[in-house]
Amino acid sequence: MSRSISNTIYILSNPRIVGEYKVGIHQGGLRKLQSRYETYIPDVKVHYLIENVKAREIENQFKELHSTSRVPFKRKREGENLSEWFKMPLDLIISRLLIMLVGKDYGLNGANSFVISEMDQTVIEGTTIISPKLKVIDLTNSEETEEEEEEDQT
């Protein structure tokens, strides 16, 4: 079963390298992500896909906050960026990412603003897919309603 997802943050690993995880962004489903890495990591393990409309922003913040845990490229040259691989525990990576997601303002034009209030989790082929639920806050009259995040929000 393949599920099409857009705007996701993923966490994957190479089982041959213990304790290092790649954090990146992807558009598409689990199978597409797996096939992207199978050439050079034949037994790639995708641990999490986290759906989010601000995936790139969250990914960049995570990389900046945890830059000291990033693994340098093997042949790093002066001025070259660090890799997207992190040497830190998987549970710490996921908890830090979720903290960055919860309570984040997903403001739209106008009075409505969105914050993540809870997360739905589904496990497909050993990968946990996390789908945030958004709470809509109308700043003009402080009424709140629950809505699921839509993939095409900007």
Q: What is the pLDDT of residues 17-50, one digit of tens each?
A: 999 999 999 887 788 888 888 888 888 888 888 8
Residue type at 94? I
Find, among 107, 109, 67, 104, the residue nearest to 88 by Cα: 67
- The mean per-residue pLDDT over the stretch 112-128 comes to 63
Higher pLDDT, 125 or 18: 18
Please count the other Cβ atoms lying within 10 Å of the Cβ belonging to residue 99. Answer: 10
The DSSP code for 68 is: G
SS3 category, 153: coil
Mean pLDDT over the full length of the chain: 73
pTM value surpassing 0.75 = no
Exposure of 132 in the CB half-sphere (CA atoms within 13 A):
29
Give me the pLDDT at residue 66, please: 92
Give me the pLDDT at residue 130, please: 72
- Residue 111 CA, chain-centre distance (Å), reads 27
